Amino acid sequence: MQSKRVTAIICGVMLGLVPRGQAQFSNAGAAPLSAMTVPQAQQMQPGELASALKAGVAERPLVLQVGSRVMFAQAHIPRSVFAGPGSQPAGLQLLEMAVASAPKGKLIVIYCGCCPWNHCPNIGPAFKRLHDLGFTNVKALYIARNFGDDWVAKGYAIDKGE
């Protein structure tokens, strides 16, 4: 039943029947949220983010890695912040701390890249939490396969370590 509701919401957003930012991500008693619950209009492609990172400091998005700390230490998007795994309560608390001082309209881009998009356990819960906190300009970086293939191998900039 929940998957039908999520599908209806996503379709409604895509068709303009539900205004962006107004979709409800109720998940009480249902399976965990996945990246597939993020509306396509609120997804960002890697090349688009790479370009946005070259903008002036004021226009640059706040980029948050919502996957594992091990992955972040191995390679991450420059100037991104480790915000904890979105699939875990402690990770969602770290996420809340990472955005505590951010304006509600600031462009925030979350990413994980642990696995293929349709299997990622971290993006959906992190996206929902930011939405629930009132952030109105949240995008999820669409990583089709994994961070290595869809960011690193494409030659986009990375940093290593904490």
Q: How far apart are CA 128 and CA 146, in angstroms?
A: 21
Mean pLDDT of 51-78: 90
Distances (CA, A) of 50 to 7, 38, 116, 136, 161: 30, 20, 20, 21, 20
Confidence of residue 37 (pLDDT cuts 50, 70, 90): confident
What confidence score (pLDDT) does residue 78 get? 94
Does the domain at residues 30-152 carry the CATH identifier 3.40.250.10?
yes
**Tokens standing for residue 68:** 């594992």
How confident is the model at residue 38, as a pLDDT? 82
Quote the pTM value: 0.78
- The residue behind tokens 């039943």 is 1
Among 8-17, 25-34, 54-63, 67-76, the least confident range: 8-17
Query: What pLDDT digit, counting tens, does each position of 94-131 carry?
Result: 999 999 999 999 999 999 999 999 999 999 999 999 99
Is 88 in contact with 112 (CB distance < 8 Å)? no
Domain boundaries, the chain: 30-152
Arithmetic mean of pLDDT, 28-40? 69
